[in-house]
């Protein structure tokens, strides 16, 4: 498994990338409080370093003063929990939309390095999302 500094270097080396300026610890803490969950592991490092962003075929939700409206983690999570059907489970933190309404999410019930799971919007509210990667760093490394 690659460590986050290696993954960050790979992101920065991509020609077609768009990355934020990073989120402050207080912005991350406010998001945790507002969403009533913990943001840990590699995703927390990503938020601190970049805030949001992606390259080519993927865009990651995030935080920070420069986050675009369509990638705002708190706004999107609240929308998925309250407005969408089926509603996103409260322990899932969306990372990215697959373009078809499905979400890659962190399962925040697991502390430390939460796994990334796939939330299929057609499977209903009682689904057990499929495991996609053991943690954020493994998942992001595979995207790259």
What is the pLDDT at residue 57? 83
What is the pLDDT at residue 38? 97
pLDDT single digits (tens) 75-124: 999 999 999 999 999 999 999 999 899 999 999 999 999 999 999 999 98
What is the pLDDT at residue 125? 81
State how far the Cα of 45 lies from the Cα of 130, in Å rounded to an integer. 24
State how far the Cα of 144 lies from the Cα of 17, in Å rounded to an integer. 11
pTM of the model: 0.94
What is the pLDDT at residue 105? 98
pLDDT single digits (tens) 28-66: 999 999 999 999 999 999 999 999 999 988 999 999 999
* Three-state secondary-structure class, residue 8: helix
State how far the Cα of 122 lies from the Cα of 125, in Å rounded to an integer. 9
What is the pLDDT at residue 37? 97
């Amino acid at each position: 498994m690659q460590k986050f500094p290696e993954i960050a270097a790979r992101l920065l080396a991509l020609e077609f990338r768009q990355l934020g300026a990073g989120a402050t610890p207080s912005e991350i803490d406010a998001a945790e409080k507002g969403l009533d969950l913990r943001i840990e592991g590699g995703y927390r490092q990503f938020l601190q370093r970049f805030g949001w962003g992606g390259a080519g075929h993927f865009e990651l939700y995030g935080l920070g003063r420069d986050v675009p409206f369509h990638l705002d983690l708190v706004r999107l999570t609240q929308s998925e929990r309250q407005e969408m059907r089926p509603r996103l489970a409260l322990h899932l933190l969306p990372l990215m939309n697959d373009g078809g309404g499905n979400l890659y999410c962190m399962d925040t019930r697991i502390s430390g390095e939460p796994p990334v799971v796939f939330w299929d919007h057609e499977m209903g509210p009682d689904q057990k999302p499929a495991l996609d990667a053991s943690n954020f760093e493994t998942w992001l490394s595979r995207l790259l």
